[in-house]
A and B are shown apart, each in its own frame.
Chain A
Amino acid sequence: DAKTTQPNSMESNEEEPVHLPCNHSTISGTDYIHWYRQLPSQGPEYVIHGLTSNVNNRMASLAIAEDRKSSTLILHRATLRDAAVYYCILREKGNTPLVFGKGTRLSVIA
């Protein structure tokens, strides 16, 4: 399975943008890049996914490098509610399980 590498933790000030990096140098052509987050005492929550092009949704933006070996999840204005562990996951389309690594613990400071 292709692996992802994320920083263990990051910190952001409230109402500022946050860029969460993910390296996946062994990504295959059929791997989609997924981001989930897990708020304290809750189950994981889907954030966004993409294949080659940058993606935007109501929660975040996903910027994918041209060579697809890295990506960045962008939260445009961090709020206290965004404090969570963020997981970058590679998954082929189809029935393959989500493999969660350790993720990045994001702290948001008021």
Chain B
Amino acid sequence: EAQVTQNPRYLITVTGKKLTVTCSQNMNHEYMSWYRQDPGLGLRQIYYSMNVEVTDKGDVPEGYKVSRKEKRNFPLILESPSPNQTSLYFCASSPNPVRHEQYFGPGTRLTVT
């Protein structure tokens, strides 16, 4: 089944403890991105990647890192999480940057205390 998977789905952690949220797609898509969703603010893009080894900042990149060593994986790294990074995170992929439809993962709910 073609899909975008994220792990973990739920995570509670403490301030400053490094964490990684994994994202993987099995559709051979070139384009991948990360969004966060917060009440009243909608979804905002954090980082995106147009292909392997090519990443760039979205609208709210502060406090996050990403890497794209393989086409299928696009992990989101929080080196020193803070409570303001408590949010619902979505990974998305698309065959290429100019395609209109993006495919979203199920989401990761992160709580930082």
Interface residues of A (CB under 8 A from B): 32, 34, 41-46, 49, 87, 91, 93-95, 97-103
Contact = CB atoms under 8 A, between A and B. Distances in A.
Contacts of B31: 95
A91 B99 CA distance: 11
Interface of B: 4, 31, 33, 35, 37, 40, 42-45, 48, 50, 58-59, 90, 92, 97-98, 100-107
A55 B50 CA distance: 28
What DSSP secondary structure best describes chain B's contact surface? Answer: strand
B105 A94 contact: no
What DSSP secondary structure best describes chain A's contact surface? Answer: loop
Contacts, number: 56
Given A49-B101, A94-B98, A98-B102, A42 B107 contact: yes
A95 B59 CA distance: 13
Interface centre among B42, B48, B59, B90 (most CB of A within 10 A): B42
A95 B102 contact: no
A44 B35 CA distance: 11
A43 B9 CA distance: 12
B42 A100 contact: yes
B33 A43 contact: no
Contacts of A101: 42
Given A45-B104, A100-B43, 5 more contacts: A32-B100, A43-B4, A44-B90, A46-B100, A100-B37
B43 A44 contact: yes
A7 to B, nearest CB: 16
19 contacts: A32-B100, A34-B100, A42-B106, A42-B107, A43-B4, A43-B90, A43-B92, A43-B105, A44-B43, A44-B102, A46-B100, A46-B102, A87-B42, A95-B97, A95-B98, A97-B33, A99-B42, A100-B37, A100-B43
